[in-house]
Structure 1
Amino acid sequence: MKQFTLLLCGWILAMGLSACGGGGGGDSASSSSSPADAGDVESSEQEPVTMASIKVAPGYDFTTSQQLEVSVDVSDMTNQRTYIAFYQDWSGTESAPVPNPDSQLLMKVSDNGLLKQALTIGKQQQSLLMVVMFADTDIPPITDVFAVDGGGYAYP
């Protein structure tokens, strides 16, 4: 059975390789060029662009990410466990956002309602969503959409 499988694989490979190939038997008149055409090509060629020929302003920042310090304090609302999460993407409105689980940056569990953390986010990120869920189901979750301005984030 093993030999049959190897033979079959070899046959499929050989058929695939033989099906690809061949030179083109195209129109010979269209593939030839006149000497006048060759001169036009040479005059329109430019110097190739290399990394050494690219000029960049001194002090240009090539980084694509930034650090954002976040601080959340909901200790005055409960003394039970809280779940604090940050998301890059969500749907709905800013007053009723629904987070996209695939865009979660961080989720931390806090037993005292405090979180102080640095997040690494892309420089293109303009806003984030913070969600706080409580172990005490009588307290509704807190959501806050905030602008990323480089100065950090503090709730409340």
Structure 2
Amino acid sequence: MKQYKQLLCGWILAMGLTACGGGGGGGDSASSGSSPADASGSSEEEPVTMASIKVAPGYDFTTSQQLEVNVDVSAVTDQRAYIAFYQDWSGSDSNPVPNPDSQLLMKVTDNGKLSQTITIGKQQQSLLMVVMFADTGISPVTDVFAVDGEGYAYP
């Protein structure tokens, strides 16, 4: 039975490869061996190599940046708080709903303070900070802020 399955799989594979076929010589300019550059009489351009690329001195090739975040909600509560940062959210900036897939960081703090460095892409223009409290009587705190390279401090 095992040999039958192998034989059948081999036959199907052979038919699939045969059906893919090659190109015919039916007057196609790509298969005639001459390129459009040869037909027009112009010479081919030099290929671009890494050595031929010119970059301005001091150009920064990094794609990420470090952002220092400092959050202090100890004035609101001295109980456990969950502090998170997101790259993407829906809704307005005054009532944002975070996209869980874009979460950069979530930390638990028992004293209401967080000091952390996070890595973000240089293209990131703004982030969302959300603070949720263990005490459900306290409303969550949200803040959409611009990433300006100076860090972030709340409040």
Q: How many corresponding residue pairs?
A: 153
Tell me the amino acid that sits aligned with residue 119 of structure 2.
T
Q: How does 1:41-56 map to 2 (within 5 A)?
A: 41=41, 43-56=42-55
TM-score by length of 2: 0.90
Tell me the amino acid that sits aligned with residue 86 of structure 2.
Y
Cα 1:7–1:147, aligned 2, differ >3 Å: closer, same or farther?
Answer: same
Shifted more, 23-32 versus 132-141: the winner is 23-32
Tell me by how many angstroms 1:29 deviates.
Answer: 9.2
Aligned to 2:113: 114
Cα 1:68–1:13, aligned 2, differ >3 Å: closer, same or farther?
Answer: same
Q: How does 1:1-156 map to 2 (within 5 A)?
A: 1-27=1-27, 38=38, 40-41=40-41, 43-156=42-155
TM-score by length of 1: 0.89
* Structure 1 residue matching 2:12: 3-state secondary structure: helix
Flag structure 1 segments of 5+ consecutive residues without an equivalent.
none
* Structure 1 residue matching 2:114: 3-state secondary structure: strand
Tell me by how many angstroms 1:90 deviates.
Answer: 0.4
Cα 1:89–1:50, aligned 2, differ >3 Å: closer, same or farther?
Answer: same
Flag structure 2 segments of 5+ consecutive residues without an equivalent.
none
Cα 1:146–1:28, aligned 2, differ >3 Å: closer, same or farther?
Answer: closer
RMSD (CA atoms): 2.2
Cα 1:33–1:117, aligned 2, differ >3 Å: closer, same or farther?
Answer: closer
Task: For residues 107-140 of structure 1, give each alpha carbon's deviation from its aligned partner in whole angstroms, at most 9, with x where no partner exists.
Answer: 0111111110001000010000000000000000
Cα 1:143–1:12, aligned 2, differ >3 Å: closer, same or farther?
Answer: same
* Residue pair 2:25, 2:32 contacting (<8 A) in 1 also: no
Quick one: distance in 2 between partners of 1:29 and 1:126? Answer: 49
Cα 1:12–1:91, aligned 2, differ >3 Å: closer, same or farther?
Answer: same
Quick one: distance in 2 between partners of 1:69 and 1:33? Answer: 60
* Structure 1 residue matching 2:13: 3-state secondary structure: helix
Tell me the amino acid that sits aligned with residue 96 of structure 2.
P
